[in-house]
Amino acid sequence: FSHQLMVWYLQNRRDLPWRQTNDPYKIWLSEILLQQTRVEQGLPYYYRFIETYPTLQNLVEAKEDDVLRLWQGLGYYSRGRNLLAAARQMISEHNAFPSDYQQIRSLKGVGDYTAAAVASMAFNLPYAVVDGNVYRFLSRHFGIKTPIDSTEGKKEFRELVELLLDKKNPGVFNQAMMEMGALICKPKPICEACVFAQSCEALKNNSVAQLPVKSKKTAVRNRFFHYLVIENKGQLYINQRTRKDIWQGLYDFPLIELKKSTSLKKLVESTEWHALFENDNYNIIYQSDEIKHQLTHQSIYAVFTHIALEKTKSTWLKKNCFQVKIDDLKKFAMPQLLVRYLAILESEKNPQSNSVTKKKAKKNSGPLFY
């Protein structure tokens, strides 16, 4: 099995930069970047990170805001924060990238999979990787119906992959397993191109679509964000998200989160609105239509309300926000939802644009930014 797999891999592998080195820093960086991310999406980020932080020491000296801005658009921003924390941990505890599996596993943001990948690919240590690609490929090939998200299933797959592991070439074997799941044994597999088609239990039993088995389905949470784009003399109020929630450490506009979609009239009448603006005099310019932004386990329904504010008495704004020039917004790492919205506003000079339909709230000089 292992020999056949690795022969296939060496003949069909993609030409990826981290496969041309045994530098643990570059291999680790690629693994962190590619968590929950397709290679096609992550590759440009890898090149940008290597160009900006070519060595571990360069990354250690970076500011978190700069790392998150480079991460912008990749999602799962805790990975970016953990990346920097782990780099500092390495220098603090080992003064270099550790070459021991347990030391790699102890790094911030590194789990069993990442530790095994780095240890095997950089240091040729005999640790097997188990990820979604591996679960899918092995469950189909061996016809395993044990749920992959169960304790029993995790133990069964772990024991199987340890048995199959080529201990002389663990890095090649691990990459071959992942490549098979990424290129051939995909959610919608290309069975006719698979070198294991003759021995695949799922193909033999016509159960490819039913494997792997999951016992639980994660519920998707709906959230309703009302962003307030508040302008004062050519500047906008923004704040940094510090709570343990999505996009922690990134910057966004003042936000009112409600339990459901709400009209502009009800938004202005809400307790949250009054608490934010207190006795301020403001002018509502317009409000965007609702925009859906999909995360893995959350659906964000966002509305952007543009507001002109001459002077504020708001304790909340003064305490939690600061003002930046509109042209300087790009200097701050923001959630991709806001990046997309600002890009549309930048490109659409006509306030009646159909790209983001704007509902005029009052007759005035028109939208901000124009």
Q: Which residues are catalytic?
A: 31
What tokens does 143 get? 């016809």
Quote the CA–CA distance of 117 and 127 in Å, as a whole number: 8
Residue 142 CA, chain-centre distance (Å), reads: 32
User: In the 8-state DSSP scheme, what is residue 252?
Assistant: E
Cα distances from 350 to residues 135, 179, 291, 329, 343, in angstroms, run: 50, 47, 19, 21, 14
In the block, which residue shows the tokens 């191109």?
193
Taking the alpha carbons at both ends of the chain, their separation in whole angstroms is 63
From CA 250, how far away is CA 252, in angstroms rounded?
A: 7
210 CB neighbour count, 10 Å cutoff: 12
Residue 297 to residues 218, 222, 242, 256, 340: CA-CA distances in angstroms? 7, 9, 20, 21, 20
Structure tokens at 34: 């590619």
Token duo for residue 50: 């290597």
Q: How far apart are CA 59 and CA 90, in angstroms?
A: 11
Stretch (H or E) spanning 90:
helix 78-93
Question: Are 153 and 147 a contacting pair, CB within 8 Å?
Answer: yes
Phi, psi values for residue 305, rounded to 5°? -105, 120
Residue whose C-alpha is closest to residue 293's, from 283, 284, 285, 304: 304
293 membership: H or E segment, kind and range: strand 291-294
Measure the CA–CA gap between 33 and 35, rounded to whole angstroms. Answer: 6
Neighbours of 155 (CB within 10 A): 11
The residue behind tokens 């022969």 is 7
